[in-house]
Amino acid sequence: MALDGYSDQTMSRKAMRAELLDAETELRLAYAWRDQRDEQALHRLITAYMRLAISMAAKFRRYGAPMNDLIQEASLGLMKAADKFDPDRGVRFSTYAVWWIKASIQDYVMRNWSMVRTGSTSSQKALFFNLRRVQAKLEREAAQRGETLDQHQLRQMVAADVGVSLADVEMMEGRLSGSDYSLNATQSSDEDGREWIDVLEDDGVQAAEAVEGSHDTDRLRDWLIAAMQALNPRERYIVAERKLRDAGRTLESLGEELGLSKERVRQLEAAAFAKMRKNLEAQSREVRHFLV
């Protein structure tokens, strides 16, 4: 249900004028959609419960998201609920839809709270939406007992109350206490107008390392080609089939193809590797570094 061009007031008024479904009508519409994919029945079911979606969306306005966007997400959750609802379970659609609507809105709020993903696990969601409330409750209860909680004690009690780790509480506090900052912002202490992005360390491969790595790889490839050429055709074939294919062949399959026993193929492979090692060591002592 696209809401572009509609204000939240318009949507609210439209939803309030929608029909109220009794249990029998609701059940009939749910069966029509599930069994016959009757789109008119789906539309009627969703329209009737848009007031529920809008009511739930309004509870999340304090997180700063536009009300129209919250209603959009609530309607998406409502449609998911309608698509997955099983009328045979004997549960009212409104009871089932509440969970889908809430989950859809919560996911949207958390995605848009920060450019850095705030969290996606159930414990992180519980912290995000309940941290301040739980903190206030614990501080109020402590005050009633005549106690004063320091920050460490409060975090420990929040962790125990919500059922998460202390590290999760500390992480979420940090994310909720600040906003995102642009890396293109100028450092206040820098007279030359240097941006914060200029002081980030580049963890990518440096040019010198890339050149050295490419050179070493080319040299090793040349050594290996020379070592392979020193083998006889049968040894070279065994090494290629065993080690140079994406899925190396078994000793048994090679034995059947070459008319040899599995043990004989293993012996030939070991002899080929010994020849290659001797050839490589003869080319340069530096190859020892690559064979470790």
pLDDT score at 30: 92
pLDDT score at 4: 46
Residue 2 lies in a domain: no
In this structure, how many other beta carbons lie within 10 angstroms of the beta carbon of residue 250?
13
* Residues 266, 274: Cα–Cα separation, whole Å: 12
- Provide the domain count of the chain: 3
Contact 58, 67 (CB under 8 A): yes
Residue 198 lies in a domain: no
For residue range 4-49, list pLDDT tens digits in order: 444 556 666 777 777 888 889 999 999 999 999 999 999 999 999 9
* Residues 36, 39: Cα–Cα separation, whole Å: 9
Q: Which of 60, 79, 113 is where one domain is finished?
A: 113
User: Are 30 and 61 in a shared domain?
Assistant: yes
Contact 288, 281 (CB under 8 A): yes
For residue range 221-278, list pLDDT tens digits in order: 887 888 888 889 898 899 888 888 778 889 998 889 889 898 998 999 999 888 888 8
* Residues 24, 161: Cα–Cα separation, whole Å: 42
For residue range 221-237, list pLDDT tens digits in order: 887 888 888 889 898 89
Domain that holds residue 128: 122-177
pLDDT score at 290: 47
For residue range 179-235, list pLDDT tens digits in order: 545 555 565 555 565 665 555 555 555 555 666 667 667 777 887 888 888 889 898
For residue range 279-288, list pLDDT tens digits in order: 877 776 554 5
Query: 3-state DSSP helix/strand/coil percent for the chain, to nearest 5?
Result: 70, 0, 30
* Residues 32, 280: Cα–Cα separation, whole Å: 75
* Residues 50, 75: Cα–Cα separation, whole Å: 7
Residue type for position 212: E
Question: What CATH number has the domain bearing residue 26?
Answer: 1.20.120.1810
**Three-class SS of residue 222?**
helix
Element (H, E) at 274: helix 262-283
- State yes or no: pLDDT of 76 exceeds 80: yes
- pTM of the predicted structure, to 2 decimals: 0.44
Q: Which of 177, 196, 218 is where one domain is finished?
A: 177
Positive or negative torsion for Cα 120, 126, 129, 134: negative
Residue type for position 108: Y
Query: What pairs with residue 186 in β-bridges?
Result: 195
For 194, phi and psi rounded to 5 degrees?
A: -70, 140
User: Are 107 and 29 in a shared domain?
Assistant: yes
User: Are 18 and 108 in a shared domain?
Assistant: yes
Residue 120: burial class (beta carbons within 10 Å; 0-12, 13-18, 19+): exposed
Residue 183 lies in a domain: no
Closest CA to 21 of 82, 70, 62, 80: 82
Half-sphere exposure of 148 (CA within 13 A, CB side): 1
Residue 97 lies in a domain: yes
